[in-house]
Amino acid sequence: VSLSPMALYTATVKGGASGVLDLNGGAMIADFSWSFRPGARQTCPCSLWNGLPATPTNEAVSDGIPIEVGVKFRSDVAGTITALRFYKGAANTGLHTGHLWDSAGNLLAAIDFTNESPSGWQTAVLSAPVAINANTTYIASTYSPSGYFAFDSGYFAVGVDNRPLHAPA
What is the spatial distance between Cα 67 and Cα 136, in angstroms, rounded to a whole number? 25
| pLDDT one-digit tens code per residue, 134-162 | 999 999 999 999 999 998 888 888 888 88
Spatial neighbors of 108 by CB under 8 A, at least 6 apart, are: 81, 100, 101, 102, 130, 138
What is the spatial distance between Cα 42 and Cα 89, in angstroms, rounded to a whole number? 27
Question: Regarding beta strands 79-88 and 9-13, do their DSSP bridges make them parallel or antiparallel, or are they unpaired?
Answer: unpaired
How long, in residues, is the chain?
169
| pLDDT one-digit tens code per residue, 55-77 | 788 999 998 999 999 999 999 98
Percentage of the chain modeled with pLDDT above 90? 54
Beta strand ranges found along 26-137 (DSSP E): 32-36, 58-62, 67-75, 79-88, 97-102, 107-112, 120-132
